[in-house]
Chain A
Amino acid sequence: MLDTKQIGWSREEMAQKVAVDIPDGSYVNLGIGIPELVADFVPEDREVIYQTENGLLGMGKVPSKEEEDRELVNAGKKCISAISGASYFHHADSFAMIRGGHIDICVLGAMQVSKNGDLANWSTGAKDDIPAVGGAMDLVAGVKRIFVITQHTTKKGLPKIINQCTFPLTGKNVVKKIYTNLAIIDVKEDRLFIKELAPNIDFDFVQKHTEATLFQYEKNNPSL
């Protein structure tokens, strides 16, 4: 099987693609893994505030070893710093921000995304799997826009963007945009539109590695 991971954009380039789509002044929650990279690429002239659901608004850079505080961590339990102007709060307030629609954008990883924006990212449903959901279901239920950043295919080269998720769902009709190493894909109603292709990647190649049918925007209709 072709390893599509080596093709197209790198993880950093994918994160950069997400970062340029985050408007100035946004409140953003970043999931664990590749989403964490996004913060490194937000253009300097934009002020973006990062929320981490364990209780901090205004997450800053990773501190030096000497400055680490084991009680100042992100959702992945890694040591972080707080920016000037940050605030701390308890979990019920944190999820009031999330569920209450106060966060503009959340960037999450995915195990599977369906053509209508269903997301599966918490459990394979396997019998010996220890189910662990964390805040993912609250985030997809309450954040205004959900972006997914993921490799286009699984480690085995199988499509992750499929007609219907086979893993247990995190949420239904929640994903607005998918950023993979091969393409940026808009989810509109129950159709997937290619917004941008990675360098030297063509539509047919992306379609070949995607179970769901992909659509192209009409060139003469830039409003789409």
Chain B
Amino acid sequence: MIDKQVSSLEEAVSEIFDGSTVMIGGFGEAGSPIELIHALIDKGSKDLTVVSNNTGSGHIGLAALIENKQVKKMICSFPRTANSMVFPELYRDGEIELELVPQGTLAERIRSGGAGIPAFFTPTSVNTPLAVGKESRIINGVENVLEYAIKADYSLVKCHKADRYGNLIYHATARNFGPIMCSAANIAIVQSKQIVEVGELNPEEIITPGIFVKRVIEITNPAHESELVAKQMKYPC
């Protein structure tokens, strides 16, 4: 029998080892798996390389993971947003590494990681500082740069509905990096607002097929990052 459900957040993240590469879903707060991130803070794994579009807000979620000095390197496209203080400060002090990647290149590197494509050529970033030092090639008269796939040891993703097979559907723009991060990780760990019986999800509408997911945990009422930031909450409290 296949049952990917775990009963506690602690168990969900229990294997994440020091030095892991961890992909964290979300575009700002939409799709950010805040409960799983807080569980990773409780676990205390260090020297992580985190792949996520942003660097979190306030002092909770991803920002709190960074503030807790668990992240040695961020791979992201947009590390400064409103209410993002933690990363900029550590970056200016030289205490955290940054690999800045154009958003579409980041997405395609993650997609490739899950699809068995080791690298690809893209016209994005040609003639800019982000292409410096990269292999380039003219294909059909257009210059392209070589970009390498990214794979992760773990992914932390949030979805709307899941079943015990790990089939997932998402809500609105919270889908963002979820599907590609599930496939690019050795172990994808998903928090779902609801876990339903196998067969309840319409096969025509499943977005992430269960094969890409290793663990699911039901978090019925996930916290809203913006509300916690507005209340000036910190994690750990």
Q: Which residues of A contact B (CB under 8 A)?
A: 52-56, 69-73, 77, 82, 88-92, 94-95, 98-99, 123, 125, 128, 130-138, 141-142, 168-172
Contacts and interface: CB of A to CB of B under 8 A. Distances in A.
B108 A56 contact: no
Contact of A99 (B110, B124, B126): B124
B187 to A, nearest CB: 19
8 contacts: A54-B30, A77-B27, A91-B106, A91-B110, A91-B180, A133-B103, A138-B103, A141-B123
Contact of B103 (A70, A95, A125): A95
A191 to B, nearest CB: 20
A171 B103 contact: no
A90 B175 contact: yes
Given A94-B107, A95-B104, A133 B92 contact: no
Contact of B179 (A77, A90, A125): A90
Nearest to A74: B173
Contacts of B178: 90
Contacts of B127: 169, 171-172
Interface string B56-81: 00000000000000000000011111
A184 B188 CA distance: 50
A50 to B, nearest CB: 13
Interface of B: 27-31, 53, 77-82, 87-88, 91-92, 98, 100-108, 110-111, 122-130, 170-180, 207, 224-226
Given A92-B110, A138-B105, A77 B130 contact: no
Nearest to A75: B27
B100 A131 contact: yes
A137 B130 CA distance: 10
B103 A134 contact: yes
A62 B106 CA distance: 28
Nearest to B89: A130
A99 B123 contact: yes
A70 B226 contact: yes
Given A99-B122, A138-B105, A141-B124, A69 B100 contact: no
A89 B173 CA distance: 8
Query: Which of B82, B88, B125, B128 is the most central at the interface, judged by chain A CB atoms within 10 Å of its CB?
Result: B128
A135 B78 CA distance: 9
Contacts of B107: 90-92, 94-95
Query: Which of A53, A82, A135 is the most central at the interface, judged by chain B CB atoms within 10 Å of its CB?
Result: A135
Contacts of B101: 133
A53 B87 CA distance: 24
A130 B176 contact: no
B223 to A, nearest CB: 11
Contacts of B78: 132-134
B66 to A, nearest CB: 13
Query: Which of B103, B173, B207 is the most central at the interface, judged by chain A CB atoms within 10 Å of its CB?
Result: B173
Contact of A135 (B31, B102, B174): B102
A55 B180 CA distance: 13
B173 A73 contact: yes
Given A95-B108, A172-B126, 8 more contacts: A71-B173, A90-B175, A92-B179, A99-B123, A130-B91, A131-B98, A133-B103, A138-B124
B173 A133 contact: no
5 residue pairs, one from A and one from B, having the closest CB atoms: A95-B104, A138-B104, A91-B107, A71-B174, A92-B111
A68 to B, nearest CB: 10
Contacts of B102: 133-138
Nearest to A131: B100
Contacts of B29: 70, 77
Nearest to A170: B128
Given A133-B78, A141-B122, A54 B128 contact: no
